[in-house]
Homo-oligomer: A and B are copies of this chain.
Amino acid sequence: MKERVVLALDLGGTNVRVVAVTESGEILARRHSQTGKGSASEIYDLIAELAERCGADAGIKEFDAFGAAIPTTDLDESGVLGSLPNISQLEGTNISREIGRRTGLPVRAVNDASAATLGEFWLGASKGTQNAVGITLGTGVGGGLIVDGRLYTGTRGGAGEIGHIRLVPGGIKCGCGGSGCLEQYCSATAILRRGKQAGLAAESAREVFDLAQAQNEAAGAIFSEMGSYLGLGLSIVNNLLSPDIIVIGGGVAAGWAQFFEPTRESLYENSLPDRRSRVKIMRALLGDDAGVLGAAKYTFQHLN
């Protein structure tokens, strides 16, 4: 039997990526572009165009399905997208219908951080485990949950919102409307904000990290604090889910050398004794491919 191949999308506020992936996880073609500020139908047209080019690059005329990793925590079974803060022009549109119409393929959509978690479980850091948690530290903070060997997406695809664990009662206001969310302490945005508050000459979280690596004490303290909050949040996940492994990905994971030790300590300290040493923490391995690979895997799992 010929190996099945799907198209997979990772749609972000900044970039849109489409790849062609085989059932064994080989990426045959990849295309990407800036997402831009166009209308919903311009964005769907762009996705269809990238998909077509992937088909041409891979020399494949007919794919088995289309998988989509989407930055929303509110997904209808039929494909209607709920709240989508970074690409709000797509809110209320039906991604299955829009992409289906343009490509002729059945479409399966999944939250982007859930997809990245499944990608790492399929081919990356958590491969071979049974219960895994993924956390994506970027502009915001996302997460995903593998339970008993399967991606758990929750009601309306909303599971895994580690970024909105209320970590600090009465803490920093969050874009979600609440306050004290983990995202406000552990994201790139949070690191940069703390850098500016400390008067550092940094225009990005990356630059705060570089200062920390160059022994700037204030910058080091920012990562240390961020790491402690991250460990506290992960301890909540560890106590609640008792996973084998927690995989940390996203752009901020590049700051590993500065935040890992405080994260590990705080996770240990705040976890129940039976599981504080048991849970592994690893850095994600698949980089930007985690989302498309996870979307592809999710789609393969739902093909008959």
Contacts and interface: CB of A to CB of B under 8 A. Distances in A.
Interface in A105-139: 130-131
Interface residues of A, number: 49
Given A147-B152, A154-B131, A278-B155, A272 B161 contact: yes
Nearest to A180: B270
A83 B273 contact: yes
Interface stretch (A35-43, A240-248, A250-258, A281-289): A240-248
A159 B273 contact: no
A116 to B, nearest CB: 16
Interface stretch (A6-14, A61-69, A163-171): A163-171
Interface stretch (A18-26, A231-239, A290-298): A231-239
A83 B273 CA distance: 9
A269 B237 contact: no
A165 B240 contact: yes
B273 A154 contact: no
A177 interface: yes
Contacts of A239: 161, 164-166
6 contacts: A82-B274, A152-B241, A153-B242, A156-B278, A162-B240, A166-B235
